[in-house]
Amino acid sequence: MFLVTVAANIVPLVGVVHLGWSAQTFAVIYAMELVVAVPFAGLKALFARRPPNYDELERPQEDNPLKSDELGGVSVGPSDLNRRRGSVTVVDSLPLIYPRNFPFVSRAFGAAVALLGIYLAVLSRFIDVPATLADPMVAASAASLIVSQVGVINREYFRKRRHETSTPRDVIRSAKNEAGVAMVVLWFAAAGGPTGALVAFVTVKLFAEWGDYRAGQSSTTDKGVGTLPPVAAPDASPTAEVRPDRRAVRGTALWQGAKSAIGSGPVYLFAWVGLTSGSTGPVAATVVCFGLLPAGIGGLKAVEYALTHGTLAYQRRDDTVVAYDDLTDTVQWAIPVDDIRDAELCEGEFVDRACDTRTFSLMPSAGEYELSVAHLREYGRAVEVFELPAETTEFGSLDRRVAGVAAAVGACSIAVVAGLAYSAPTIAAVAAGWGGPFGVVALRWAWQWALPAA
């Protein structure tokens, strides 16, 4: 089987060198394959039955010079969502989906956007990528890539039941590493033009396929390792229940999505340069790079946050505080009232201040990580019925001068970029690409400065 893969990847090189085939066509097709494989790996990760290794999530990837888990966005660290228990059935013909794996999906999509931007920026130096993509042969290849990815997932992942023994990180690691290595090699091989780019893609592809082949030959599956164990919670009916405020959850989700989308500004700029260097006009490139791509990244981040907090109900059962997930009908965590060492009001929640809701961070006496009781409108009742040892439920006053200056500077910056978009689109794209992330950092710094001193 591996020899067939080798032959399939060598044929394009032979055709380019000896038969006069188009090197730029094959280079674009290989780039598309690498980019498409990453979000598909993220979709596969949704079905991975084994939970992620939380020690790996907490440990920085200092031994990996490419830092593949940080490609195109924030690394997948520990969170309330990726510790989530339970699963849901979306389609009867498909396996169960595990909400805890959704952070890996959003990071995979972010990585694909980053790869797309960098590949476009590099390949546009010697290839008109938009015109090549419009070629019927390349368009047909793109469609076949989608179909083949679906077929491979169904055959290799579902029918062979590999999703039962996979972790979400393992599922996306191979695709992200392969695309990341190809990106690095492409920087150096681009001096050789389309042929150099094709050689780089083929070389990386063969090494990746060889690694996957060796791993498949030596891998052993452990079907005894499964989902997270259930939480021991009282079977008694809840004597009190408090739910997050939906408006606050939606508002915070949109806010988190906007910050995540803006933070990837340089990636959009690379993609914009790549598209405008070819046959794509600046208006169309701007819509795609500064409209559709940020909407995708921000939308996934917003969904992730909504899944983290929007489906929970906080209950009092006997002498225990329980977080129950309505989506999966599963208890997520339970902590006896006497084991709550501290309950701290989260002062820095912007939307909570706007919606008059509260988020508390609970520290168990013997827990490994903090628990969150988020976006409560009935916060006074929650403190009472859950016996939370919170010092206060009232926010301290903000320094309105700092907040006002930050808001004014931000509004003026957006207006300037919008004005430049009509007269100097290149300058506007550079300002949006690099100024957006800087603005997010500056806004975060100003917000921390405006908060009341602890």
pLDDT in the model for residue 398: 85
pLDDT in the model for residue 12: 62
pLDDT in tens, 29-57: 888 888 888 999 999 999 999 888 776 66
Confidence bin at 215 (pLDDT 50/70/90): low
pLDDT at 294 over 90: yes
Q: Between these two residues, 75 and 172, which has the higher pLDDT value? A: 172
pLDDT in tens, 127-169: 888 888 888 888 887 788 788 888 888 888 898 888 888 888 8
**Torsions phi, psi for 443 (to 5 deg):** -65, -40
pLDDT at 188 over 80: no
pLDDT in the model for residue 406: 84
CB-side neighbour CA atoms (13 Å) of 384:
6
- Residue-range domain boundaries for the chain: 2-229, 313-385, 400-450
Confidence bin at 262 (pLDDT 50/70/90): very high
Q: What is the mean pLDDT of residues 177-196?
A: 77
pLDDT in the model for residue 67: 41
Confidence bin at 21 (pLDDT 50/70/90): low
pLDDT in the model for residue 14: 65
The per-residue pLDDT of the chain, averaged, comes to 83
- d(C-alpha 223, C-alpha 30), whole Å: 35
Assess contact for 61 and 75: CB atoms under 8 A: yes
pLDDT at 11 over 70: no
Assess contact for 165 and 221: CB atoms under 8 A: yes
Q: What is the mean pLDDT of residues 104-122?
A: 90
pLDDT in the model for residue 214: 60
